[in-house]
Amino acid sequence: MKKLLLIATGGTIASENEGAGLTPKLSPNALLRYAPRLSRMYSVDAISPLNLDSTNMRPENWLTISACIKENYNHYDGFVISHGTDTMHYTASAISYLVQSSPKPIALTGAQKSITTEDTDARTNLYDAFAYVSDGASHGVSIVFDGRVITGTRARKVRTKSRNAFESVDYPNLALVREGKILRYIPEKKPSAPVFYDRIEGNVAAMKLTPGLGANALKALRGSLEGLVVESFGVGGVPSADGGELLKEIGLWKREGKTVAVTTQVPYEGSDMAVYEVGRRALNEGGVLEAYTMTPETAVVKLMWILGQTRDADEIRRLFYQPVAHDLLSLSDPEE
């Protein structure tokens, strides 16, 4: 029998409404009692290092979750993290950086409706996540939700209410789970040993450009942040019609040893900043990093992970452009 650990962190899946709105209440064992077949199929233990609405999830909580995986790594064959859906994709990215190359599968799941309700998606999602992590070919960090298995760095919440809340952005689903069986689309070689990291810099944020946004908006953030991901327009660029004030402000961030990266607010296909002058100037004069095919959420979390490891500008650049767990996809020319 596979030995599996449920790491319960809260979310709607474990919520009840006692009058003030839904809030996580159920213990992990109570969660398991709503899915009674699990304990007949696997040897399941459960712990609950956190019990949060994932709106309240913070970078230090990701470290708590990854420490929990590290502590228990040798005792279990796989890990299911139950989590709120609102920031599940951020946590999935974070765990992808904090626990790299894991030969054991780590799957996040949750639900749009509490497991206590009749029409809940929670039971199916839990059964699917356990089915996926119990399969010998599974490894690495993923989100298992509504029958889809999505690589941890490529997920985004795209629906606030429906069961198909998550999508894999610009990357195929790894697998489907149908009635407890795995239909694997992308079989991959299992890595041999995990690499754990235990530091992260939480003072990184994203800022969405809107037409006319001035340099003062960036300046206001400079004192409190170590890194910024600018969600620009289209294939990516920084507006220069204000006499280059935004670029000058970015220069000040750099002079203070802070990192600025540019991504796009367009949901698919990533950035390509070499196309337009506004993009090239940001790269050449602003010295910004470019997120290319990383999702904006993943770019923020990657920068947090990198700044937790180093403040050396060359090393930051090297790590940002080094693909981890399919966060950065390479576009190649067709071979002759």
Chain residues that interact with ligand ASP, rule: CB under 6 A:
10-12, 53-55, 84-86, 110, 112
What is the DSSP code (8-state) at residue 45? E
202/58 Cα distance (integer angstroms): 8
Check 12, 85, 120, 259 and give the catalytic one.
Answer: 12
Tell me the three state secondary structure of residue 251. helix
Write the DSSP assignment of 14-38 as a string of letters: GEEESSSSEEE---HHHHHHTSTHH
Supply the minimum distance, in Å, between the C-beta of residue 300 and ligand ASP. Answer: 17
Strand pairing report for 43-47 and 99-100: unpaired
Supply the minimum distance, in Å, between the C-beta of residue 85 and ligand ASP. Answer: 3
CB atoms within 10 A of CB 223: 7
Question: Residue 201 has which token pair?
Answer: 């810099």
Q: Which is nearer to ligand ASP, 54 or 271 (CB)?
A: 54
Q: Which is nearer to ligand ASP, 85 or 295 (CB)?
A: 85
Supply the minimum distance, in Å, between the C-beta of residue 55 and ligand ASP. Answer: 5
Question: Residue 19 has which token pair?
Answer: 């009058």
Provide CB contacts within 8 A for 22, sequence distance 6+.
12, 15, 16, 53, 114
Supply the minimum distance, in Å, between the C-beta of residue 7 and ligand ASP. Answer: 15
Q: Tokens 């969600």 appear where?
A: 231
CA distances from 226 to 34, 49, 199, 208, 249 (A): 43, 28, 14, 17, 14
What is the DSSP code (8-state) at residue 295? -
Supply the minimum distance, in Å, between the C-beta of residue 79 and ligand ASP. Answer: 19
Supply the minimum distance, in Å, between the C-beta of residue 112 and ligand ASP. Answer: 5
83/102 Cα distance (integer angstroms): 20
Contact 57, 16 (CB under 8 A): no
- In angstroms, what is the C-alpha Rg of the chain? 21
Which residue number places its CB atom closest to ligand ASP? 84
Q: Which is nearer to ligand ASP, 27 or 322 (CB)?
A: 27
Provide CB contacts within 8 A for 324, sequence distance 6+.
96, 97, 100, 153, 302
12 given a catalytic annotation: yes
Supply the minimum distance, in Å, between the C-beta of residue 26 and ligand ASP. Answer: 12
Provide CB contacts within 8 A for 302, sequence distance 6+.
93, 97, 294, 320, 324, 327
Return the active site residues: 12
